[in-house]
Amino acid sequence: MASTKSLPGMEDEVVEEIRDAALALFDVREEKKALKKHEDELAATLLKIMNAHETVYFYEPERRILVEIEELEKVKVTLKKGKSSGEDEE
């Protein structure tokens, strides 16, 4: 990839801008990794609780929370948005 030449005195500004953008992206990736680890830990805890209660399905109508244990001991949690919306969050 060819780099473009900057005007005299602008080199530091361009490099700093690239560095800052790269560091921001790196920080977000690290946060995402930490959140994924936390999500996995919470899913394992939920699975353990459901197994302790010998249940594979849970539905809470007030908040429209659906929890199901799928194949290979994987937990799926669905939270419906609003009453008329067909969208789910996982």
Write out the two tokens for 50. 């459901």
pLDDT grade for 72, boundaries at 50, 70 and 90: low
Q: What is the mean pLDDT of residues 62-85?
A: 79
Residue 24, pLDDT > 50, answer yes
Backbone torsions φ then ψ of 76, nearest 5 degrees: -120, 125
User: Angle at the Cα of 85 (from 82 to 87), degrees rounded to 5?
Assistant: 105
Query: b or e along 73-88 (b: 16 or more beta carbons within 10 Å of the residue's beta carbon)?
Result: eebeeeeeeeeeeeee
pTM of the full structure: 0.63
Instruction: Please report, as a single letter, which amino acid is at residue 26.
Output: F
**66 - beta bridge partners?**
59, 78
Q: 26-42: per-residue pLDDT in tens?
A: 999 999 999 999 999 99
| Domain residue ranges of the chain, discontinuous segments joined by + | 12-89
